[in-house]
Amino acid sequence: MASCCSESERVEQVISELSRGRDIADRIRVILRQTGSDGSVQILARQLLDTFNHSLTMLTHAAADSGEVSQAAKSEDSCKPRLPKDRRGCYKRKRSSDTTIKMSSDLCEDGHAWRKYGQKAILNAKYPRSYYRCTHKFDQGCQASKQVQQIQDDPPLYRTTYNGQHTCEKSPLDHHHILPTPPDSSVIWSFNRPVDSVKQEVQIKSPPEDDYMSPFLDLSGDVYSCTASTHSIEDVVGSIEDFFEFQPLS
């Protein structure tokens, strides 16, 4: 009879809720690791995360098998030429929250296994942008992805934009430049400034209450800081790029 929503909508709601639970579990896990909490608690957090991942995997596969998810648009104009698969609704553009940007003078390893899935020429950009997803996207349901783009030639400067957090297993070390996103969804950036061939780690954090504050860079001390809206990441990155461009390398 007339229920509030269709079966497919309910399935998608459950998937959405599970995804949210997984993100929260992952944040708990990161916090526990950062604070050096009891190992058994960390294991429990890990198991909680795995439970969400497995549930999501089973649910999405079952939904796909039964054709329940994302089939709403299938009823009409299904005779489009040269479409091997109906890909409508197959992806959503990433939002700017839960994003980490790293600027570095080289393409250093970040400790994760990535698989390149695309490359695009970007308007007004000299170099193409490469797209990577976590190698464990399918076997562990890890949603982390990154974009890498060279933004400067001499000296070479690369901007790496990380989206999402790793929920896959990796070595416990090597979090030296990917900082955990706090629960308030503020944004943290870190990048290396190539000065005297010595890389300086810079961390930039935007407090959540400064939603409408224009971005600025405080480069006066050893610790650089920057505040900005989570909606103006590009502005901040522009400021960083300006800094690299106009500051003579001493």
Binding residues for DNA, rule: CB under 7 A, are: 80, 82-95, 113-120, 122-123, 129-131, 133, 135, 145, 147
CB 178 within 8 A of CB 110: yes
Q: Which is nearer to DNA, 76 or 87 (CB)?
A: 87
Residues 102, 204 contacting (CB under 8 angstroms): no
Q: Give the nearer residue to DNA in terms of CB position, either 161 or 224.
A: 161
Of 34, 203, 3, nearest in space to 102 by CA: 203
- Provide the minimum distance between the beta carbon of 124 and DNA in the complex, in angstroms, as a whole number: 7
* 3-class secondary structure per residue, 56-118: HHHHHHHHHHHCCCCCHHHCCCCCCCCCCCCCCCCCCCCCCCCEEEEEECCCCCCCCCEEEEE
Residue nearer to DNA on the CB measure, 85 or 248: 85
Please state the closest distance from residue 75 (CB atom) to DNA, in A: 14
Minimum distance from residue 40 beta carbon to DNA (Å):
33
**Minimum CB–partner distance for residue 67 and DNA (Å):** 14
- Residue whose CB is less far from DNA, 95 or 126: 95
Residue located via tokens 């039964």: 66
